[in-house]
Amino acid sequence: MGFYFYIACCVLIIFSKASTAIDTISPSESLPDGRTLVSNGGSFALGFFSPGTPKNRYLGIWYNNIPMQTVVWVANRVNPINDSTGVLKIENSGKIVLQVQNSTSVWSSNTTASVQNPVLQILDSGNLVVRDGRDSSPENYLWQSFDHPSDTMLPGMKIGIDLRTGLDRKFSAWKNWDDPSPGDLTFGLELEGKPEVVSRRGSAKYLRSGLWNGNDFSGHRNLRWNPIFDYDFVSNENEVYYIQFLRNKSVMSRGVLNQTESLRQRFTWNPETQTWQLLISMPIDNCDKYGICGPNGNCDSNKLPACYCLTGFKPKWPERWNSSDWTGGCIHSKPLNCESGDGFIRLRRVKTPDPTNSWINETMNLKDCRVKCLSNCSCTAYTNLDITKGGSGCAIWFGDLIDIKQFQSNDGQDLYIRVSASELKKKDKVNLPIILATVIAVLLGFVLVVCYFRRSRRKLKDKSVNDKENKDENEDMELAVLEFGTIAQATDNFSIRNKLGEGGFGPVYKGILSNGQEIAVKRLSKNSGQGVNEFKNEVKLIAKLQHRNLVKLLGCCIHGDERMLVYEYMPNGSLDSFIFDQTKTKILTWSERFRVICGIARGLLYLHQDSRLRIIHRDLKGSNILLDSEMNPKISDFGMARTFGGDQTEANTNRVVGTYGYMAPEYACYGLFSVKSDVFSFGILLLEVISGMKNRRFYHANGSGNLIEHAWSLWKEGKPLDVADDFLVETGDLSELLRCIHVSLLCVQHHPQERPSMSSVIVMLESRNDLPSPQQPGFLFCKKYFEADSFDGTPSKNEVTLSLLQAR
């Protein structure tokens, strides 16, 4: 009995030693290629990996408990190992050494310790640390990987500078997906005036956060609402840093610098889909890019063009400014006169300017800050340093104000800009009618509120209560659900007189709710092959989207077999009803068409980049672009849209859906779709708007099989304007028209990687800079043929089968 007890104790001791050694190594141990250290909670692993080329081996840290290898830190970024002889050791001095063939060092840490028992340990935070084996206190780490980041920011990491040692914790992107060596995109804290977070491409500033205002960086949209992470900014005599930490410890979240897309992105892991989902991406729009509007310019992504001069300023070079060349920026409309008395105009909700030429005082109040600025003739603007708790501190700027962004929400902060006294008088004259209009508006608002409360009683009668059999399904919609009877009454029992048209999913009716609101009702056909899944998809997607160029979903209805979507009513119908109708085509002038083109582009950019989800529409065409009462375009019909995770750039499907004639070749032939397949569809739509002809129905005597081929032939012959409608050539801006033709051909290039992104498309449409030459378009899709029952040419068919595609 004693013998068995002895054996059991030995086994327990052996297992105990094995379990405690799994996340650490000591000077007497090593970690060869093929073995890993795993953190105590199993969250992270340390070991050797190959990101692309199999022969290149790197030592790195990655998430241990998810199926896709996601590397968060790399040791030997600039010095890969060419075989599997790599081994990691920790010396008695505490120095970490990565060796090849047990001799040549390819990477090491600059660690020297006066401890007798140094150990190397991978923590559950993803931090690799050197510590005294008897002391696990974070304050006493001898070295840690969090101080030497790669491209990924994990919760608990600091971005910033240790003022005592000079340690600068700065991130740098991988050169590409296969090469972890540092690219030219960096991200860190910079101490110029007041500290702020700055991304650079090479030595040039690319993105900046604006000053910390006590609540957030002024150039960031407030993310305090998000349930995933919180953040803080610390500045004292010892260190200055920005830090993020998880609200919910069970969530996995990471920030990444993406060299390929020049983006700073934050992802969260979705255990249900087993993918990384994009939470936020920077730049959100072109206005985030550094100094895009030049000195003393303001950038508002909700305007077209986005750049305009600050109040009291005018373009320095008007001709260039009107051609969307904003590099010269703006100058004062009236010269400043320090002695005769200048004043300040308040600019609300903006990102504070570049602080390179600025001065701060953390104790001065806003009133004293104004006096300080006014007394210095070189001072051009001032603001509060901290906007919380009533405001405190003072920041003032000297010289040109660079990189200001306008927010429409409550983000950003107020900035007080110095202008001449004459500009202030002019503003006061302008303000008088504004004040009168405001008073009238308040009175009208009071009347409307009274009317609203009266009508709301009637509206309660129309409020939907889900059918019991569909209760769970309705709750999944996350949107107001209307009763069937309410919709039937609004559409006069789906009268033929109220029918607006017939789409791939069924008929669309105009209706009027009891409160007088006009609606458009899409009634899902019971015979539609794409029923409930597309219906749910459209509801879930559009309910989360908010953009001026996307149609607004008001509600839905599920009643037995009935599935209906209720949209805002678009009185001018669809875009194709104007551009393809000979009697209505001249209603849309070129200037209006160009505005429509830019609006569609902005809506697509929102879907691809700026929304909470990356969305591929997959069925962009004229009939899915609706026009409101002011001819503003709104993208509709999201039944076939797909969402992408943050790391996902393309996807594959065996069920190719969409409309033939607008599909990108890689999608039509192989089922591959991405944001670039939407860009291809945009290019087709752009050509149709310019020519007034349908790509699918096009025929030309010269043998051109479709509109793309015809446009390409004319481009090679040096006669690109011949593809445009004669009416537009005679009355429109020819340089603008030619630029749009050029952009359309760039969008329909055969290879997806050659097509521009929608952010580039918008820049090309708005600027007058030279454009790259287009390559061969994708007008020859594949060599297979449609069968008669797979595509009949009618608009009611939205799906084509992968194996049945023809050449044209």
DSSP label at residue 266:
E
Q: 3-state class of 654 per DSSP?
A: coil
Residue 538 phi/psi, 5° resolution? Answer: -65, -40
Residues 154 and 126 sit within 8 Å (Cβ to Cβ): yes
Q: How far apart are CA 331 and CA 352, in angstroms?
A: 18
Active-site annotation holds for 619:
yes
CA distances from 262 to 224, 587, 781 (A): 25, 41, 31
Residue 306 phi/psi, 5° resolution? Answer: -75, -25
DSSP label at residue 749:
B
Task: Give the CA dihedral 421, 422, 428, 431, nearest 10 degrees.
Answer: -120
The structure tokens listed for 64 are: 């241990």
User: What is the largest distance, in Å, between two alpha-carbon atoms of the chain?
Assistant: 106
The structure tokens listed for 246 are: 């998880």
Q: How far apart are CA 337 and CA 359, in angstroms?
A: 22
Residues 657 and 799 sit within 8 Å (Cβ to Cβ): yes
Q: How far apart are CA 374 and CA 371, in angstroms?
A: 5
Q: How far apart are CA 35 and CA 29, in angstroms?
A: 12
The structure tokens listed for 616 are: 């591929």
Q: How far apart are CA 62 and CA 65, in angstroms?
A: 9
> What letter represents residue 232's amino acid?
D
- Which of 23, 619, 637, 725 is flagged as catalytic? 619
DSSP lists the bridge partners of residue 467 as none
Q: Is the dihedral of CA 291, 297, 298, 302 positive or negative?
A: negative
The structure tokens listed for 384 are: 């509060």
Ranges of beta strands (E only) in 354-505 are 358-361, 379-386, 392-398, 404-405, 413-420, 499-503
Q: How far apart are CA 26 and CA 190, in angstroms?
A: 37
Q: Are strands 297-299 and 404-405 parallel, antiparallel or unpaired?
A: parallel
Q: Which residue has the tokens 């944001």?
A: 675
Q: How far apart are CA 741 and CA 683, in angstroms?
A: 9
Q: Give the residue numbers annotated as catalytic, written as ranges.
A: 619
